[in-house]
Amino acid sequence: MSTPQVNHPKFGLGTVILDNGQTKIIRFDHGIEEVPSSELETRLSVREALVSGHFSSPLETVLRAQAAAIQSINMSWGVFSRSRIKLLPHQLWTCHQALRHWPIRKLIADDVGLGKTIEAGLILWPLISSGKVKRLLILTPAPLVEQWQQRMREMFDIRLAIYRPELDRGKADFWNTHSQVVASLPTLRADNNNRHERLLDSESWDLVVVDEAHHLHATETTGKTLGFKLLEKMQEHDKITSLLLFTGTPHRGKPYGFWSLMSLLDNTLFNPSKKDIEQLTHLSSFLIRNNKQKVVDMEGTPLFKPIQQYPETYQYSEDEAAFYQLMTRFIQAGHAYASNLSSKGRGQVTLVLIALQKLASSSVAAVLAALQTRRNNLLKQAGELRKEVEEGDALDLGEEHKADEIEHLFESWIKADKKSKINLMENEVQHLEQLIQSAKVVTQETRVQRIIDITKERFNARPVLIFTEYKTTQALIVSSLIKEYGAEVVGFINGENTLRNIRYPDGSIKQLNATRDIAADQFNSGKLKYLVSTEAAGEGIDLQKNCHCLIHADLPWNPMRLHQRVGRLNRYGQKYPVEVVSLRNPSTVESKIWRKLEEKIRSIMLALGAAMTESEDLMQLVLGMASPALFDELFTDANSISAESLDSWFDEKTQTLGGKDVVQTVSELIGKAQSFDLSGLKGVPKLDLADLQPFFKAMLSMNGNRLSKNQERGFDFITPDNWRKKSPAIKRRYEKMLFSRETYPDSDIMGVGHPMMDQAIGQAIDFKSRVTFLPTLDASIYIFSIIDRVTTSEGQVNSVLVAVRASESYELLKDECLLLELNKTSPLEKELTSEIPNEFAVDELDKAKLFVTNNLGKLNLPFSYPEVTEHSVFLAHLSG
């Protein structure tokens, strides 16, 4: 006896569990509902149709099955989402892993450059189009807010409102009037003007996405960051249903911080007070990490090529060497002076000397500006500043993400702040004067000239991205490039969007202004050939479209910065191997430490390679786990170590870097993470938007309209009247609609989520057709829908469509194979009026259903107790 099937105008098709007279309890795909009996329409089941010989229109039956298959595929993979970017297997695989469960609780820790915004959009589209996600909040670092808004709009047509504090006041009710928001986490985490109270008083968020989630940090000593506390507070108030975290460096070397971050996803399974072994067993359900060594295109071809490293050297001129030696003695004297101070005073002087040494290792001009400003401020205090003394440039504290304490102390030292009273030595002004005079003798910096030579000799006039840590060095390089190539092809990016003291060939000195986004667009389009950037472009920006050549004008002391710089070019869309030049002077202490670091990194890679296959990718995790203070100590203390003792001293200082504990932690972390590889490629559907065209074209035809080829590109059609009635936002006519991901400014993409496709799917799903006769088939096809009987389960996929091809043996067809099969059919449009009971087909239906039940394990479904129900039948013949 078959279970009665009914249709509800809101919940769709369901089966009756209990008839209470005026109400009925119904199991729908999404769960169980009790609804008034008057709202239900009885539908003939597949079994009833076969027993009675009630055949339906072949066209309607095919269209209904196509629509169900499209929904099933997209809710599992997001493959029909309206992305303007060609989708890659690892992105679809990541989407599939995230969509398997609801609520979503995932940390996606992909290597840099694998397309996290695309992954986010792919996950979002099925959820938004199905109505699962209505309220969406994306939290990002401040510089990336507009980029997220732009990419979600351009790639996926997801319209995000930007949170601005001035809009969140009083009766404005920002949080309840905007349902899809992108906000700066640094802005939102500060509870200014009671903004947290208004946020917590608003409706809850179906999904919260956090970019660069490692900023949600916690330690035993300093506690939790404000961002961490905000997320925790929102969860305590039940304001977050699903949470999706993105970061390339999930583990920063401290288990406490990592397990704290994981506790935001599930604070019952993860807690920094628990033992690691207790928590590692649960990690695979929450952590995804894809790496560049394993990602491929749909044909299985690796997407990324090995980085080509070209170390380049240069030698100081006599004047530069003299200044370098004088600067080295100055720093050594400063450390000697500090050794006699209190612990606090010694620490302050050390941090200032670190900042000075970093400046000096970038360029003479960079440190000269700081020395002049400090000298002038000291003379001002003493009332001895003569009018002819130079004022010096504005402070250049760099953009290498120094600790706040270093930046604060260095600024206080330069300004000669009376409160801080930081002095580097006795008679400091006298020593500063010597340094300044020695620096002024240097009229041309060999490093900068070497960069120009490299652009001509090695890169042969190809586009080049140049990184430096300091704006003063940046201005030097930009000036030299302008002199060599002209101002129209040279651009810059820094945190201030302003670059002062640019010297032009005619002797004039000007200030340049450019925003980060404009400079990036001009570089990617080819308008700019040379782009000089500080660390302001080190994260969150794509520069690979027209460039694969990079020069490190100076080397940041933390090797992690190098990885992030290269990540601007070595990312999805890069067509060539990225060529990287690291510029250094072998005679300097910094160069010697870098050589030792590289040897150390190679040995770590060997250790990793013995444990893992993707050691190259894991290097960034190892470096990310090292304390930045370690690298500061290496470069600072090396000045006082003799050449004979340098090797042993270095080995002792770096014995914890990449040690056994670190390798073990990384191996455990990655070993427990879900990760895409070639075996995952087999499961990724080989489908795209073009596979929607047969269904949509047939739906238009059924409604009396047609899909016509546009003379320029794409397709045009007039909207069926019954679709237009559904929403006032639907247009009467659509032009240049593409069933592909080509990007044209005047065209639109047809995919799941477009109102026209959603109308077509909705109409087809509602068809009453169950059984039909298709003589063009070589074997009958029995189609089934699988749902989870446990409505409290966290399964995200509402239902999955599968089919059985019944010939001499049974063949299981997944939803993507079924759609391709149906796309090839040419069903008759007329209804079959003959009613021929088919007992053989009923028997085959039972056998096919049993076959599906016995093979559920092969489908790897996220269901606790799957239930198989009949969806439709296509008979290739009318009798047994």
Q: Indicate if the pLDDT at residue 523 is higher than 50.
A: yes
pLDDT value at residue 788 = 86
pLDDT value at residue 225 = 93
Please list the residues that pair with 509 across neighbouring strands: 503
Residue with tokens 């320029």: 712
User: 316 or 712: whose pLDDT is higher?
Assistant: 316
The percent of residues in the chain predicted with pLDDT above 70, rounded, is 89
Task: Give the model's confidence band at 669: pLDDT under 50 very low, under 70 low, under 90 confident, else very high.
Answer: low
Enter the DSSP assignment of 228. Answer: H
Q: Indicate if the pLDDT at residue 479 is higher than 80.
A: yes
**3-class DSSP state for residue 483?**
helix
Same domain as 70, residue 89:
no
Alpha carbon 327 to chain centroid distance? Answer: 43
User: 202 or 798: whose pLDDT is higher?
Assistant: 202
- How, if at all, do strands 490-493 and 530-533 pair? parallel
pLDDT value at residue 424 = 87
Q: Indicate if the pLDDT at residue 714 is higher than 50.
A: yes
Least reliable range by pLDDT among 246-255, 281-290, 611-620, 766-775: 611-620
pLDDT value at residue 409 = 74
Q: Indicate if the pLDDT at residue 833 is higher than 50.
A: no
- Cβ proximity of 750 and 757 under 8 Å: yes
User: 496 or 400: whose pLDDT is higher?
Assistant: 496
**3-class DSSP state for residue 661?**
helix
Closest by alpha carbon to 448, among 586, 317, 311?
317
For residues 750 and 82, give the distance between their C-alpha atoms in angstroms, rounded to a whole number: 7
- Determine the structural domain holding residue 819 and report its residue range: 56-80+687-713+734-880
- Cβ proximity of 551 and 467 under 8 Å: yes
Same domain as 428, residue 381:
yes
Q: What is the CATH number of the domain that holds 85?
A: 3.40.50.10810
What is the 3-state secondary structure of 692-715? HHHHHHHHHHHCCCCCEECCCCCE
pLDDT value at residue 406 = 65
pLDDT value at residue 401 = 40
For residues 810 and 804, give the distance between their C-alpha atoms in angstroms, rounded to a whole number: 6
Same domain as 512, residue 399:
no
Q: Does 310 fall in a domain? A: no
Question: Longest C-alpha distance within the chain, in Å?
Answer: 111
Q: Indicate if the pLDDT at residue 613 is higher than 60.
A: no
Enter the DSSP assignment of 689. Answer: G
Q: Does 630 fall in a domain? A: no
Q: Indicate if the pLDDT at residue 780 is higher than 60.
A: yes
Same domain as 706, residue 832:
yes
Q: Quick one: tokens of 758?
A: 């959603």
Enter the DSSP assignment of 203. Answer: P
Same domain as 246, residue 108:
yes
Give residue-wise pLDDT tens across range 547-604.
Answer: 999 999 998 888 878 888 898 999 888 989 999 999 999 988 888 888 888 888 777 7
Same domain as 566, residue 456:
yes
Which whole number is the average pLDDT over 520-544? 89
Q: Does 573 fall in a domain? A: yes
Same domain as 222, residue 131:
yes
Q: Does 185 fall in a domain? A: yes
Burial call 83-108: b when 16+ CB within 10 Å, e when fewer: bbbebbbbbbbbbbbbbbbbebbbbb
User: 305 or 208: whose pLDDT is higher?
Assistant: 208
User: 353 or 604: whose pLDDT is higher?
Assistant: 353
For residues 717 and 709, give the distance between their C-alpha atoms in angstroms, rounded to a whole number: 9
pLDDT value at residue 389 = 41
For residues 113 and 154, give the distance between their C-alpha atoms in angstroms, rounded to a whole number: 19
For residues 335 and 338, give the distance between their C-alpha atoms in angstroms, rounded to a whole number: 5
pLDDT value at residue 391 = 41
What is the full DSSP assignment across 375-392? HHHHHHHHT---TTS---
Least reliable range by pLDDT among 97-106, 158-167, 617-626: 617-626
Task: Give the model's confidence band at 441: pLDDT under 50 very low, under 70 low, under 90 confident, else very high.
Answer: very high
Q: Which domain-ending residue is among 412, 440, 468?
A: 440
pLDDT value at residue 607 = 65
pLDDT value at residue 715 = 95
Give the DSSP H/E element, type plus range, for residue 499.
strand 498-503
User: 413 or 137: whose pLDDT is higher?
Assistant: 137
Residues 6+ apart with CB under 8 A from 358: 398, 400, 469, 557, 635
Same domain as 402, residue 532:
no
Residues 6+ apart with CB under 8 A from 389: 376, 379
Q: What is the CATH number of the domain that holds 24?
A: 2.30.30
Q: Indicate if the pLDDT at residue 612 is higher than 90.
A: no
Which whole number is the average pLDDT over 110-124? 90
For residues 2 and 50, give the distance between their C-alpha atoms in angstroms, rounded to a whole number: 12
Same domain as 328, residue 248:
no
Q: Which domain-ending residue is among 236, 268, 288?
A: 288
Residues 6+ apart with CB under 8 A from 748: 734, 736, 737, 738, 754
Q: Does 529 fall in a domain? A: yes
Q: Does 61 fall in a domain? A: yes
Number of Cβ atoms within 10 Å of the Cβ of 308: 13
Rg of the chain's alpha carbons, rounded to an integer?
Answer: 32
Q: Does 655 fall in a domain? A: no
Same domain as 64, residue 23:
no
pLDDT value at residue 21 = 84
Mean pLDDT, the chain, rounded, equals: 86
Same domain as 828, residue 815:
yes
The type of residue at 207 is L
pLDDT value at residue 588 = 87
Give residue-wise pLDDT tens across range 292-333.
Answer: 888 888 888 888 888 899 989 999 999 999 999 999 999 999
Task: Give the model's confidence band at 396: pLDDT under 50 very low, under 70 low, under 90 confident, else very high.
Answer: low
What is the full DSSP assignment across 152-192? HHHHH---PEEP-GGGSSGGG-HHHH-SEEEEEHHHHTS-G
Task: Give the model's confidence band at 61: pLDDT under 50 very low, under 70 low, under 90 confident, else very high.
Answer: very high
Same domain as 113, residue 60:
no
- Cβ proximity of 153 and 159 under 8 Å: yes
Alpha carbon 178 to chain centroid distance? Answer: 23
Q: Does 671 fall in a domain? A: no
Helices (H), 638-787: 646-653, 660-672, 678-681, 693-702, 721-724, 755-765
pLDDT value at residue 615 = 46
Query: How many domains are there within the chain?
Result: 5
- Cβ proximity of 248 and 287 under 8 Å: no
What is the full DSSP assignment across 812-851? EE-HHHHHHHHHT----SSPP------HHHHHHHHHHHHH
Q: Which domain-ending residue is among 241, 272, 288?
A: 288
pLDDT value at residue 385 = 47
Residue with tokens 């509602």: 766
Determine if the peptide bond prior to 165 is cis (ω within 30°).
no
Residues 6+ apart with CB under 8 A from 152: 117, 120, 121, 124, 138, 158, 159, 160, 182
For residues 373 and 366, give the distance between their C-alpha atoms in angstroms, rounded to a whole number: 11
For residues 310 and 464, give the distance between their C-alpha atoms in angstroms, rounded to a whole number: 14
